[in-house]
Amino acid sequence: MPHDDFHIEPVEGLPELPPEGEKILWQGKPNWWALAKESLSLKWIMGYFVLLGAWRSVMLAETRDLVTSIAGALPFLILGLIACSILVLIAIVQARTTVYTITNRRVAMRIGAALTVTLNLPFRWIGSVDLDLRPSGTGTIALDLIDEGTRLSYLTCWPHVRPWKMNPVQPALRCIGDAEHVANILGEAARTHVVRIQTKTPAPDAVPAE
């Protein structure tokens, strides 16, 4: 029988029901193809094996016929195809098991395939938000945390982090679709939360974004 490791979640992506007054504004997952290309360097890996195959063919062409020299590249191309297939599988699994959630109070990230963790990042911990937008509309939203007591492991959170930003680690909503719209939702929610805290007014009911 099929088994769902997350069937005990009261709300998908969250370990418990949101407290009273907290509303989910957006939920989403990484785009697996964008994740494979940007986070797992799929194109670079395939290009590396193609380059090896081309080099092998050129070397054989000096002493062998055309068919033999072309055939000499096949082992490298096959290895490259296997390696890229594994990377694509990793990207699909990561995308399937990941849920990003934005509420009117925090950002929650259920991440990890073998070891699943949920990061709860209240807006008061987030100093700034950076959007890396791609021409396709997918993009990565990195969160710069200002709470010095919050220490995250780059390896534990990878690939859901800002690339090569290790000290401090910046958790990120990686390779999501319509990233600009999601960034606007996050920015507006954070601004509303800050204003509400400063004025000490009760939180209005939030309307989930379309």
Going from the first residue of the chain to its last (210 residues), give the mean pLDDT of each consecutive group of 10, the final group possibly shorter: 54 84 94 94 93 88 78 89 95 94 95 87 91 93 81 88 89 95 94 78 50
Name the helix (H) or strand (E) containing 157: helix 154-157
Name the helix (H) or strand (E) containing 131: strand 126-133
**190 part of a folded domain:** yes
Q: How far apart are CA 151 and CA 134, in angstroms?
A: 29
**76 part of a folded domain:** yes
Q: Are residues 117 and 192 located together in one domain of the fold?
A: yes
**10 part of a folded domain:** no
**24 part of a folded domain:** no
pLDDT in tens, 35-59: 999 999 999 999 999 999 999 888 8
Q: What is the pLDDT of residue 25?
A: 95
Instruction: Name the residue range of residue 136's domain.
Output: 101-199
Q: What is the pLDDT of residue 92?
A: 95
Q: What is the pLDDT of residue 148?
A: 58
Q: Are residues 132 and 176 located together in one domain of the fold?
A: yes
**192 part of a folded domain:** yes
Show the tokens assigned to 31.
């785009």
HSE-up of residue 201 (Cα within 13 Å, Cβ side): 9
**45 part of a folded domain:** yes
pTM confidence score:
0.82
Looking at 62, 92, 122, the residue that finishes a domain is 92
Q: Are residues 49 and 132 located together in one domain of the fold?
A: no
**16 part of a folded domain:** no
Q: Are residues 168 and 113 located together in one domain of the fold?
A: yes
Q: Are residues 86 and 111 located together in one domain of the fold?
A: no
Looking at 92, 117, 138, the residue that finishes a domain is 92
Q: Are residues 130 and 54 located together in one domain of the fold?
A: no
Q: How far apart are CA 75 and CA 73, in angstroms?
A: 6
Q: What is the pLDDT of residue 200?
A: 67
**28 part of a folded domain:** no
Do the beta carbons of residue 175 and residue 140 sit within 8 Å?
yes
Total structural domains within the chain: 2
